[in-house]
């Protein structure tokens, strides 16, 4: 099993969530986060003054999927989160040793 973490633009969240659900990936955890990439933030103007926002609001989606599903999940996220502009996000994939469903005690593939 693998854990897929995707950090994306907040305005793309519903589109990505719906696309994942249509493909059968309904279980996920979503957090509102802040971060920045290579660009180091953005410059904004407010009442004639310029200021730098160096931590930009993002959404982090976490899914645990079977190893055979990882590439499909990555493809779905990329296709639906991409705007073509800097700040579209990143996807991280990590191994998962054990999953336990709290309610039933099912483990690993049965719990995903």
Fold of 2-111: Alpha-Beta Plaits (3.30.70)
pLDDT, tens digit, for every residue of 24-76?
999 999 999 998 887 777 777 888 888 777 888 999 999 999 999 999 999 99
pTM: 0.85
Q: Which of 91, 67, 68 is CA-nearest to residue 16?
A: 91
What are the residue ranges spanned by the domains of the chain? 2-111
Joined together, the tokens standing for residue 67 give 């190893």
Quote the CA–CA distance of 22 and 7 in Å, as a whole number: 20
Contact between residue 44 and residue 60 where contact means Cβ atoms under 8 Å apart: no
The three-class DSSP label of residue 21 is helix
Is 105 a residue whose pLDDT tops 90? yes
Q: pLDDT at position 42, please? A: 72
């Amino acid at each position: 099993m693998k854990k897929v973490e995707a950090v994306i633009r907040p305005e793309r969240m519903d589109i990505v969530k719906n696309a994942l659900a249509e493909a059968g990936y309904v279980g996920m955890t979503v957090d509102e986060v802040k971060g920045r990439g290579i660009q180091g933030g953005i410059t904004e103007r407010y009442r004639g003054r310029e200021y730098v926002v160096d931590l930009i609001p993002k959404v982090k989606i976490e899914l645990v999927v079977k190893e055979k599903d990882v590439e499909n999940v990555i493809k779905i996220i990329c296709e639906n989160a991409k705007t073509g502009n800097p700040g579209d996000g990143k996807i991280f994939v990590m191994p998962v040793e054990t999953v336990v469903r709290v309610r039933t005690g099912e483990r690993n593939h049965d719990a995903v």
